[in-house]
Amino acid sequence: MTLDEYYNEIYLPLHKNKYNRALHFVGTLLTVTLLIAGLATGNWILCLLAPFVVYPFAWSGHFFLEKNMPAAFSAPYYARFSDWRMCLEIALGKI
């Protein structure tokens, strides 16, 4: 399965709820913010923590709003790339 097929056939159907998508977006923005802050200040702890910031936001959206399992449990790499793609599409107004 290609990444594009995964995104359209598996990832997006797990993210139907707009509030779940919003939680993913906020978590991803915080991830980027921490990474930039860590690089700007030389605080490597922030850089190491940055990739994990999104999970509490995303997983709470899945467990409490969507009532499904996060895609990261079945295909972590495809799910991570799909997170970034979905957030880009949200920022561009496509979703």
DSSP 67: -
Each residue of 8-64: pLDDT tens digit?
A: 999 999 999 999 999 999 999 999 999 999 999 999 999 999 989 999 999 999 999
Q: What pLDDT is recorded for position 33?
A: 96
Question: What pTM does this model have?
Answer: 0.90
Give φ, ψ of 87 to 5 degrees.
-65, -40
Alpha helices for the chain (secondary structure H): 3-6, 18-41, 44-49, 54-60, 76-91
Model confidence band, residue 94 (pLDDT cutoffs 50, 70, 90): very high
Say how far apart CA 10 and CA 59 lie, in whole Å. Answer: 16
Residues of the domain holding 70:
3-91
Count structural domains, the chain.
Answer: 1
Q: What is the pLDDT of residue 73?
A: 86
Q: Is the pLDDT of residue 71 over 90?
A: no
Tell me what pLDDT residue 72 has.
85
Question: Which position has the token pair 């030389």?
Answer: 42
